[in-house]
Amino acid sequence: MKNKKINNALISVSDKSGLEKLLKNLSKYKINIISSGGTFKKIKKLGYKCQEISKYTKFNEMLDGRVKTLHPKIHAGILNDRSNKKHRREMLKKNFKNIDLVIVNFYPFLQVTKNKNQRRIIENIDIGGPTMVRAAAKNFKNVSIITNTGDYDELIRELRRHNGDTSLKFRENLARKAFGQTSYYDSIISNWFNKKLNIKFPEIRTIYGKKISQLRYGENPHQQGSLYLIDENLGLKKIKGKALSFNNYNDIFTGLEILGSFKKPGTVIIKHANPSGASINGSPIRTFEESFDCDPVSAFGGVVVCNFKITKKIARKMSSIFFEVILFKGIEKEALKVFETKKNLILIDISKFKNQIGQQIKYFNNSFLVQDRNSKVIDNKKIKFVTKLKPNKKELKYAEFALNICKYVKSNSIVITKGFSTIGIGAGQPSRLDSCKIATQKASKFQIKKLKNSIAASDAFFPFTDGVKKLIKSGVKLIIQPGGSIRDKESIEVANKAKIKMIFTNIRHFNH
Amino acid sequence: MKNKKINNALISVSDKSGLEKLLKNLSKYKINIISSGGTFKKIKKLGYKCQEISKYTKFNEMLDGRVKTLHPKIHAGILNDRSNKKHRREMLKKNFKNIDLVIVNFYPFLQVTKNKNQRRIIENIDIGGPTMVRAAAKNFKNVSIITNTGDYDELIRELRRHNGDTSLKFRENLARKAFGQTSYYDSIISNWFNKKLNIKFPEIRTIYGKKISQLRYGENPHQQGSLYLIDENLGLKKIKGKALSFNNYNDIFTGLEILGSFKKPGTVIIKHANPSGASINGSPIRTFEESFDCDPVSAFGGVVVCNFKITKKIARKMSSIFFEVILFKGIEKEALKVFETKKNLILIDISKFKNQIGQQIKYFNNSFLVQDRNSKVIDNKKIKFVTKLKPNKKELKYAEFALNICKYVKSNSIVITKGFSTIGIGAGQPSRLDSCKIATQKASKFQIKKLKNSIAASDAFFPFTDGVKKLIKSGVKLIIQPGGSIRDKESIEVANKAKIKMIFTNIRHFNH
């Protein structure tokens, strides 16, 4: 079918920017405009001709505008197949005109849902708009559907190119975008309802996002990648440095999750999505130093995440080491100057970052797993002190810190700590004994003095006593673990024999 | 507002199951039925009274049914606020009746998209149905919206409870489900368009899934979890055993991805989402044996994934070891008998599993990262033989296998192989040297005889020569790695000095 001229356009927009330029161009091609409400008023005000929808349909809008465009004359005008003789006959018989261009954008619903007034939120669920958009998109063979003011310029160019019409290719792409908008819109509504009614695992689930960054590449240079935002605001304010990479984001998000569990000033350093060190041991600068000292080799080139303000003193300390990204809550002017010469360093203020309670989603081939976040560390009702020697309150606090970090290290994980600082982290091994070996080897290498009387946390039970023995041998005096192995008794015996303390939490912390 | 009786119901369903029982109950409360098309015919055939929509609206349906319910009388009937005097007046004036119950389900669109006929797919995009569903859901204060035949029984119970009406709580939950359906429906359409037009990173993106399994718990017992299916079929057929856990699925999906890269009979054993061993070295049974031998300690309790048929002989071999899950392409009857006594073993046939080309999505706090799958291993155009000694064709094939497995091991990863079998895997370390140590330690422990003249693959370049030296010292004679470090020259020198071979692929394989 050859291109023909667009005769009638229906415009109903919440975002009225760019309208003047668009109207100027539509008028060049003598395109009749149909509109209503605020858009109608705006068009008239801008000095362009426009017919009101109610006059066009000869049906007065009713129910405070709830029923306005839901009319056969509008929808037949959009939906009829211009190449179908029967359709053409029916249109003629009813004296209905074709609507060849539909320009509709929705009220920003995500913002509305931030509103506490439920009635207002529901009132803002648009019925007429999405119906027109969907109808026009379905009939992209004949109709152009614009759902984004950002597409006005391309529409204008198309009209010029095709002397008042558009190409099929252009229309199909617009239809694609239109269904992106309607699915996004309804996904927000759907998720809002699920949240409101506290349905965590609905039978049907959609996840929505807006692309906020086309990344230079994905996890590796031969993979393309992008970042999508679910909420309205990522909460990361870049102060300095180049664009963040896929792996930067991956590390940052891992770090922010750990940081979200800190109730005191603290630092965590991330490398390859695992913490290489973490500390809440005293002053801000000390937490940085101790998280770095845990594994100064691995921390090299890592991502530093901290929940305090960067002073000049801290900046000087940090700037003596090579890091890729440093994240913080505020930075002093003088401190920023210290970093000035660091060309490749990225600085990010996370003051506005908010940890959502949300869920974790793991996406695979043709499915995804959804689960609650692991928001517990210990449960006082479930905890058991299983050895003859019992930890005191302070030691219990230290042990809880160790287990909290262990929770975020990829399984199997063993974390050795001193005070509120990690001194050895064993991550990502299929065998628990291997994780014990790595943690003790690391601690022996960099923190040998602190190993004596240290604390070790394990994300899951010890299937054999070998790991327990390994830890004890290196100097660990308190082990916190879920328990639950058929060989628990043996582990307790080993602990008693060595006169160390052991805590069973009855809470496992796998993290893959 | 007190509950009132439902007077008029609009029914338009693709899935006509359960209709008879429903109609019987609606008639008890003298609810008038409005319908059209196939649903109308079915209702008449079942012997119930029913008014055709076109007679109700006094507007003949047109454009082959494209415009039928998109009529003010229908939508005002659904959308009017019964507690609003103005709305009531307008309804009276027009002589429009309230529609208090809307029963609509959509054509299973996901199935339609499997159709190669694009025209038919687009013809199946429902406009009228979703509009009624959305309108009714918006006005849940007054209207009950049923989008699933599974909700008929609860509706019947509600009508009984409330003497021909429904409760607000019930209606709100129905509205929640309704928006689940519309967002799911449009998300499928949106993704279909994106795929068709080859848009990998659209500005707006929705992901859809149907819950196919409420899991016993998530990654840990204190977390709830569910599995959602994006496609129509997961492709996993359980032959034997209890329900799969969250961690089972996580391991299975990891294993299936690796298996998808095998072009020969092969086995991979997964533990904690990392391979503990993998092999495509010869006969099926040999690949199992060699992947197990790589790390018999870690393989204990693991997930075995293989791409061949299980014979009695293989079954006997496998059943002598404790595994949680075994996946395969077919199993002989005699083989199945061998596993009969293994109470806790889960057997799954993956003959119908299909690896999608798709993308990887990493979901975080309030955002998600999307990237292409890492579908390359080496690129012959980019590969460089950097040492004096060059690998022959066979060695290159072996090296490619090593790198392929390395690609799937969590970074930093080092994989040592002999032939087409792994003999040492170093996973998930923040420092590359540590991964080298783990891989060589493992190989020394379980495969010491094979270490001599072995091959090592590294997912990323060696920042220092320490890792290279470590590998050479343990017996590695060929190293395959991306290259790209400022110390590449030094690494090559070390390799030349030791008279080993080194390949630079110029392709990095991070995997976190």
- Provide the pLDDT for residue A1: 42
pLDDT at residue B357 is higher than 80: no
pLDDT of residue B103: 97
Q: And the tokens for B267?
A: 């086995």
Q: What is the mean pLDDT of residues B388-401?
A: 97
CB contact set of A256 (below 8 Å; sequence gap of 6+): A305, A327, A350, A353, A355, B365
- pLDDT at residue B218 above 50? yes
Q: What is the pLDDT of residues A199-241, one digit of tens each?
A: 999 999 999 999 999 999 999 999 999 999 998 889 999 999 9
Q: Please determine, for residue A9, whether its predicted confidence score (pLDDT) is greater than 60.
A: yes
pLDDT level of residue B396 (50, 70, 90 thresholds): very high
3.30.1490.110, 3.10.129.10, 3.40.140.20, 3.40.190.290: which CATH number matches A238-349? 3.40.140.20
A179/B172 CB distance under 8 A:
no
Query: Which pLDDT score, from 0 to 100, does residue A3 have?
Result: 45
pLDDT for B66 equals 84
Provide the shortest C-alpha distance from residue B493 to chain A (in Å). 24
Chain B residues within 8 A of A276 when measuring between CB atoms:
430
The residue with tokens 């922010």 is A256
Q: Which helix (H) or strand (E) holds B400?
A: helix B393-408
Backbone angles phi, psi at B76, to 5 degrees: -70, -40
Q: Is B342 one of the catalytic residues?
A: no
Who's near B116: CB < 8 A, 6+ residues apart? none
Helices assigned H by DSSP within B139-278: 152-161, 168-196, 246-259
pLDDT exceeds cutoff 60 at B56: yes
Share of chain B above pLDDT 70, in %: 99
Query: Nearest C-alpha of chain A: how many angstroms from B56?
Result: 14
Q: What is the pLDDT of residue B1?
A: 42
pLDDT of residue B111: 86
pLDDT digits (tens, 9 = 90+) for A477-486: 999 999 999 9
Q: What pLDDT is recorded for position A302?
A: 96
- The pair of structure tokens assigned to B120 is 């038919």
Cβ separation of A211 and B221 shorter than 8 Å?
A: no
The tokens for B479 are 């190293």
Residues with Cβ within 8 Å of A235's Cβ and at least 6 positions away in sequence, in order, are A350, A352, A353, A354, B366
Check: CB of residue B61 under 8 Å from CB of residue A75.
no
CA distance B478 to chain A (A): 23
d(CA B250, CA A161): 52
Give CATH for domain A8-196.
Answer: 3.40.50.1380
Beta-carbon contacts of A30 under 8 Å, excluding residues fewer than 6 positions away, are: A164
Note whether A210 contacts B204, CB cutoff 8 Å. yes
User: What three-state secondary structure class fits A318?
Assistant: helix
Q: Could B508 and A223 be called an inter-chain contact, meaning their C-beta atoms sit closer than 8 Å?
A: no
Residue-wise pLDDT for B440-489, tens only, equals: 999 999 999 999 999 999 999 999 999 999 999 999 999 999 999 999 99
Radius of gyration of chain B (CA): 31
Ranges of each domain in chain A: 8-196, 238-349, 384-504
- Provide the 10 A C-beta neighbour count for residue B237: 14
Parallel, antiparallel, or unpaired: how do β-strands A359-363 and A367-372 relate?
A: antiparallel
Contacts of A215 in chain B (CB under 8 A): 369
Give the number of C-alpha atoms closer than 13 A to the C-alpha of residue A107, restricted to the C-beta side: 16
Of residues B75, B162, B272, B317, which has the active-site annotation?
Answer: B272
Q: And the tokens for B426?
A: 């170093």
Q: Residue A415: what pLDDT? A: 98
Query: pLDDT tens for residues B231-258?
Result: 888 999 999 999 999 999 999 999 999 9
How many whole angstroms separate alpha carbon A187 and alpha carbon A190? 5
Q: Check B189 against A172: CB less than 8 A apart.
A: no
Across A446-455, average pLDDT: 95
Q: Name the residue among A125, A194, A365 with its Cβ closest to that of B176.
A: A194
Band of pLDDT at residue B115, cut at 50, 70 and 90: confident
Span A113-131, mean pLDDT? Answer: 90
Catalytic residues of A: 138, 272
The span from the CA of B451 to the CA of B467, in Å, is: 16
* CATH 3.30.70.270 describes domain B235-349: no
Select from B199, B207, B428 the Cβ nearest to the Cβ of A428.
B428
Q: What is the mean pLDDT of chain B?
A: 94
Question: Best mutation site among B203, B214, B271 for testing chain A: the one with the most A CBs within 10 Å?
Answer: B203
Instruction: Collect all residues of chain B within an 8 Å Cβ-Cβ radius of residue A193.
Output: 172, 175-176, 179-180
Q: In chain A, what residues touch B376 (CB-CB under 8 Å)?
A: 222
Confidence category of residue B114, pLDDT binned at 50, 70, 90: confident
Q: Which residue has the tokens 């190449």?
A: A83
CB-nearest partner of B67 from A75, A295, A372: A75
Q: Tens of pLDDT along A458-508?
A: 999 999 999 999 999 999 999 999 999 999 999 999 999 999 999 999 999
Which pair of tokens denotes residue A188? Answer: 């927000």
How is A414-466 classified by DSSP, letter by letter? Answer: EEEEETTEEEEEE-S-SSHHHHHHHHHHHHHHH-HHHHTTEEEEESS--SSSH
Sheet holding B414-418, edge to edge: B237-240, B346-349, B325-328, B303-306, B267-271, B274-279, B421-426, B414-418, B454-458, B476-481, B501-504, B384-385
CATH topology of domain A384-504: Cytidine Deaminase; domain 2 (3.40.140)
ipTM field: 0.93
Q: Do domains A8-196 and A238-349 have the same CATH topology?
A: no
From A47's Cα to the closest Cα of chain B, the distance in A is 31
**How confident is the prediction for chain A on average, in pLDDT?**
94
- C-alpha triplet B411, B413, B414: angle, nearest 5°: 170
pLDDT value for B2: 46
Report helix, strand or coil for A40: helix
Directed axis angle between helix A432-446 and helix A466-474, to 10°? Answer: 10
- Going by pLDDT thresholds of 50, 70 and 90, the confidence category of residue A59 is confident
Chain B residues touching A371 at Cβ < 8 A = 218-219, 223-226, 246
